[in-house]
Chains A and B, each alone.
Chain A
Amino acid sequence: MQPWVPGSLGCARSSIPAQTTGAETDGVAPLPDAVRARVHDHPCYSEGAHHHYARMHLAVAPACNIQCHYCNRKFDCSNESRPGVVSELLTPEQAAHKAMAVAARIPQLTVIGIAGPGDPLANPERTFDTLRLVRARAPDMKLCVSTNGLALPGLVDDLVRCGVDHVTITINCVDPEIGAMIYPWIFWQNRRVKGRRAAEILIEQQQKGLEALVAHGVLVKVNSVLIPGVNDCHLSQVSRVVKAKGAFLHNLLPLIAEPSHGTFFGLMGQRPPTAEELSAAQDACGADMRLMRHCRQCRADAIGLLGDDRGSGLRLADLAEGEVDDRAAMEARQAARAAIERSRAAARPAAEVLVPLAAVGRRSERADAVLMAVASRDGTCVDQHFGQASELLVYEVSARRAVRVGTLQVEPYCSGADACGGGDAALRATVAVLAGCAVLLCAQIGYEPWRRLEAAGIQPNGEHADEPIDATLRAVYRELAEAGRLKPVRSTPDRLTA
């Protein structure tokens, strides 16, 4: 087991095992064909699919049965799959109606999920009523549920009966000592249980639930919130355990911990991981996470294509009250899917439909790789002012390719239209989180932020405004290489531990 030193901030690079074990360690093990087929049109699992297909989360589950230190229960959970506040709590009937109205309007919709705002399985009646109603009216839709796992073992049969084919479990640890640092309490068998015992029960339930789902053929994805100094050194172990039990994907979410969110971690000064730490932790957990590196940690009421949240534009009240023709809507969806698949097949070879794992390469081949961060509104072009970005896309770029490492949530330091002052703390936090990046690409940037980035060893670059990200990354990489200024990803040993 990876030793955990209380109070340590960040893993020493050397303490992260370079890769997991044996044959799978090349990082090129592709998904089994059966799984690949099932996630092919799921926008959250397939980078190829997320440009084409849409998903929708129904906010029907308000209650929660545990407390996490990264969540403030006065708002919705800001980590896992639900930042922001879900403004509209739906009854199962309203949710099903909304789902069908949206499914009739957005024929690219393939996935309907329940992710909150609390824990779906802590609200079994609402959750299962909703799933049953949606299933009856749109049997072509993939159903998914996210959970903390506490109530999971007792509900696996119900999930299977409702036809749920993907479940996401948030597993932040498999060691109760670490769990006690993340979960202050759980509600278990009619009592509030605190401390290490609470973590023990939660971990046991999560693992049981994972095993039972896999035994029933349900696809299980595991999410872990990466918390520097708490579970960062431990996540490679989590990854080994959950993959051995049959989870098809392990996805790391960088901790979101701003004091203004009022969470324990936010208020007690727990910092989020840097780009470099996220990249290192992902490597330690194995390369298949590249499948999820486009994950945007969407809200519990998210609708639409990832990163293009139409939830606010499609509230219940705006949807026509009238009847929805479910059959016609389903036929329209099938036609839309067929068209999308034709164009996807034409656009690239079949083997590259998912993120091309084989193209990612081995660690040794990536010695020349550097991290670059991009401020982008639309996710395809360098089109955002650095000061207005609430998230930064991080890429690992080498001579051969650019791979998305993940998305870092930041607080925009520039809130006003004309003045970029006042956001000093936010700017400082953003620069800190970019540690490890060689370059920051954006459409525009002010003088002071420019200076601060440079002082931190990060080259700001605003020369590629509105150009496509991919081509820009390659061009900037070439410039760096020609200028002899390539600074490999992991050349700086642990300078961020203070």
Chain B
Amino acid sequence: MAFRILAGCTGCWACAPLCPSGAIRAATPHFLIDAQRCSECDGDYADPQCASICPIEGVIVDSAGVALNPPGSLTGIPPARWAAVRAEIQAR
């Protein structure tokens, strides 16, 4: 039972000081969660702290690999819209 941080994490430091288990390490190219330590905040908080403040969609996943903050859930930007604009920008 542990979360993971994936590539895409910007290293913004928001999560690390909140972790009740001291499980988050400021690594490069992205932060890492120590699977031995992460408790998913069970017993400390109602919501997992890292996933509650992380601003980047999709970069924190549970042990099954499911994103805690799926695309569109934080920014409100429909993923299709983002993809279309990105394609347009790249085509220039």
| Structural contact, B53 and A65, CB atoms closer than 8 A | yes
The main secondary structure of chain B at its interface with chain A is loop
Which residues of B are found within 8 Å of A73, using beta-carbon distances? 10, 12, 55-56
| Structural contact, A122 and B14, CB atoms closer than 8 A | yes
Q: Contact string, A461-497, partner B, CB cutoff 8 A, digits 1/0? A: 0000000000000000000000000000000000000
| Structural contact, B45 and A190, CB atoms closer than 8 A | yes
| Structural contact, A190 and B10, CB atoms closer than 8 A | no
| Structural contact, A64 and B12, CB atoms closer than 8 A | yes
Chain A interface residue number, banded: 20 to 34
Partner of A184, one of B53, B76, B85, B89: B76
List which B68-87 residues lie within 8 A (CB) of chain A: 74-77, 81-82, 85
**Contacts A190-B45, A191-B47, A260-B89 hold; do A62 and B13 have CB atoms under 8 A apart?**
yes
Which residues of B are found within 8 Å of A187, using beta-carbon distances? 14, 52-53
User: A73 CA to B14 CA in the complex, in Å?
Assistant: 12
| Structural contact, A118 and B47, CB atoms closer than 8 A | no
Partner of A259, one of B45, B52, B89: B89
List which B34-92 residues lie within 8 A (CB) of chain A: 45-47, 49, 52-53, 55-56, 74-77, 81-82, 85, 88-89, 92
| Structural contact, B56 and A65, CB atoms closer than 8 A | no
Partner of A191, one of B10, B14, B46, B56: B46
User: A259 CA to B55 CA in the complex, in Å?
Assistant: 19
Which residues of B are found within 8 Å of A74, using beta-carbon distances? 10, 56
| Structural contact, A264 and B13, CB atoms closer than 8 A | no
Which residues of A are found within 8 Å of B88, using beta-carbon distances? 259
User: A118 CA to B88 CA in the complex, in Å?
Assistant: 29
| Structural contact, A262 and B82, CB atoms closer than 8 A | yes
Report the minimum CB–CB distance from B11 to chain A (whole Å). Answer: 7
| Structural contact, B14 and A64, CB atoms closer than 8 A | yes
User: A399 CA to B37 CA in the complex, in Å?
Assistant: 71
Q: Say if the beta carbon of A192 comes within 8 Å of chain B.
A: yes
**Contacts A74-B56, A191-B47, A267-B81 hold; do A67 and B11 have CB atoms under 8 A apart?**
no
Q: Contact string, A158-196, partner B, CB cutoff 8 A, digits 1/0? A: 000000000000000000000000001101001110000
User: A185 CA to B14 CA in the complex, in Å?
Assistant: 15
Residues on A facing B (Cβ under 8 Å): 62-65, 67, 69, 72-74, 118, 122-123, 125, 184-185, 187, 190-192, 259-260, 262, 264, 267-268, 422
**Further 20 A-B residue pairs, CB within 8 A, beyond A67-B74, A73-B55, A118-B12:** A62-B11, A62-B12, A63-B12, A63-B13, A63-B17, A64-B55, A67-B75, A73-B12, A73-B56, A184-B75, A185-B74, A190-B18, A191-B46, A191-B52, A192-B47, A192-B53, A262-B82, A267-B82, A267-B85, A268-B81
